[in-house]
Chains A and B, each alone.
Chain A
Amino acid sequence: MKATVTVMLRPGVLDPQGRAIAQALHALGFTGVAEVRAGKVIELDLDEADPTRARAQAEEMARRLLANTVIESFRVEIG
């Protein structure tokens, strides 16, 4: 079963990378871009056929390692 963990900086945590991307997009003429937030996507290939258990495992991995919940939030998608 495949799990996709998306990790983003929490709202309120300064995201200088996102801000730099926004500035570069403005420079390219994409003036309609208001705010950009940059995060990361981690794909897990799990040895688990049950979606509920797979989700629970991926969430535990995210809490313990993949995300630092002091500064980041995460979202898990299964399948």
Chain B
Amino acid sequence: MNAAIMLFPGINRERDMAIALTRSFGRPPRMIWHREADLTGIDVVVIPGGFSYGDYLRCGAMAAHSPCMAAIRAHAVRGGYILGVCNGFQILTEAGLLPGALLRNANLRFIARDCCLRVERGDTVFTSHYQRGQVFRAPMAHGDGNYFADPATLDRLEGEGLVAFRYAPPVGNPNGSARDIAGILSPNLRVLGLMPHPEDLVDPLLGGEDGKPLFDSLAAA
């Protein structure tokens, strides 16, 4: 599996993501500046967290119309894997590659703390190294992570098993997300977006490896 990390101006989690991918994949990902459009030989496109374009207009709105998005869309159409974390999730919803939107946190505060995620599916390329129902810890750091979609879309996501992770006790749902949704999948299960940062918990020296199974799952796909 070859991974690439897409770099937009204002992205700031790309190095954390590169460390997590390198640990699981055994080699570093390609770093691709947003003006480039060549994804030849790439199996997994990763859009990391940060504040692309200073969150101007809406989080992710500018990046969603960046020159590389056509290549990312083509990658999705080919059935390629895409992982969007935090701002990356916001960018995927703005680009229409995942449904819904991320609103301002319900309490209006930027939330930087660990949350607990329950694995809703253990049979996807992103989650095969977790067990369904398993709860793991993941750091979160965002101001706009309140997942919103209309009730029909939420029903469809749940009915088709496209909810990957939900916020779980004891921390619960910190940002007000609809139906505690923290991460969702595309209908072909090859695009995953989530707000928390599993890439920031892949090393015992940093307090745990709760996020590592996600990258191990991808590496084994």
Q: Which residues of A contact B (CB under 8 A)?
A: 13-14, 16-17, 20, 65-66, 68, 70-71
Contact = CB atoms under 8 A, between A and B. Distances in A.
Interface of B: 57-58, 61, 65, 93-94, 99-101, 103-108, 146, 148-150, 176
A48 B93 CA distance: 32
Given A68-B94, A70-B148, A16 B61 contact: no
Contacts of A65: 57, 61, 65
Contact of B107 (A16, A68, A70): A16
A68 B58 contact: yes
A16 B94 CA distance: 21
Contacts of A68: 58, 61, 94, 101
A66 B94 CA distance: 11
Nearest to B176: A14
Nearest to A42: B57
B115 to A, nearest CB: 19
B58 to A, nearest CB: 6
A2 B174 CA distance: 42
B103 A13 contact: yes
Contacts of A13: 103, 148
B103 A71 contact: yes
Contacts of B108: 16-17, 20
Contacts of A20: 108
Nearest to A19: B108
Nearest to B108: A16
A17 B65 CA distance: 26
16 contacts: A13-B148, A14-B103, A14-B148, A16-B104, A16-B106, A16-B108, A20-B108, A65-B61, A65-B65, A68-B58, A68-B61, A68-B101, A70-B93, A70-B99, A70-B150, A71-B103
Contacts of B176: 14
B63 to A, nearest CB: 12
Contacts of A70: 93, 99-101, 148-150
Given A14-B176, A65-B61, 13 more contacts: A13-B148, A14-B103, A14-B106, A16-B104, A16-B105, A16-B108, A17-B104, A20-B108, A65-B57, A68-B61, A68-B94, A68-B101, A70-B150
Contacts of B150: 70
Nearest to B64: A65
A60 B25 CA distance: 43
Contacts of B58: 68
Contacts of B103: 13-14, 71
B194 to A, nearest CB: 18
